[in-house]
Amino acid sequence: MRKNRIKDLYAIVVKAEQYVSRTILFFIIGLTFAAAMSRAFNFPLPWSIDIILLLFCWFAFCAASQATRRKANLGVDILIRHFPKKVRDVIDLINKLLITAFLIIMGFGSLKLSVTNVKRLITSLNISYSFITSALFVGCTLMVVSEIIQIVEKIRIMCGKASEEDFESAAE
């Protein structure tokens, strides 16, 4: 019962992340177009660049989280693909553990950075710089959750308690 609630909650988070990403991309495109058109008519929007950069930062970390969940990040496997499957699985597990550790360190560092920058303002927008730096924390947190899920899946597969087919639709 509890496992289903966690899966349901994670599915809601995934849907929300996808919706937020699409919405942010829509606003980035729309605002970029509006800023270009306003400059063409000699009526620049000086604040538009700062908003676009803020939105792009959030979009980048949402997209990175989605790529992590879908296992779509770039990887170089030219050497590893020639190893036996069990060795590849162990290397993949170690890689995921290292990535998770790195993301946790980055997440805590970004949280510290966000707290430090609360009073620093983006002048043209008069909002806290923490709105930008918190994107890293949120992105790292979402990626850590995806990595932990993939680590558990990998361990279950390696122990023979599940097959890779059991988890293929979960990444979608």
For residues 49 and 32, is the Cβ–Cβ distance under 8 A?
Answer: no
pLDDT in tens, 71-120: 888 777 788 888 999 999 999 999 999 999 999 999 999 999 999 999 99
Hey, what amino acid is at 71? K
Between strands 127-128 and 121-122, the pairing is antiparallel
pLDDT of residue 78: 82
Between CA 87 and CA 90 the distance in angstroms is 5
Of all residues in the chain, what percent carry a pLDDT higher than 90?
74
Kindly report whether the global pTM for this prediction surpasses the value 0.85. yes
Helix and strand numbers (H, E) in the chain are 5, 2
Burial environment of residue 42 by CB neighbours within 10 A (0 to 12, 13 to 18, 19 or more)? exposed
169 has pLDDT over 70: no
pLDDT for residue 172 is more than 70: no
Pair of tokens at residue 115: 């707290």
Q: What is the pLDDT of residues 9-25, one digit of tens each?
A: 989 999 999 999 999 99
Do residues 70 and 172 lie in contact, with contact meaning Cβ atoms separated by under 8 Å? yes
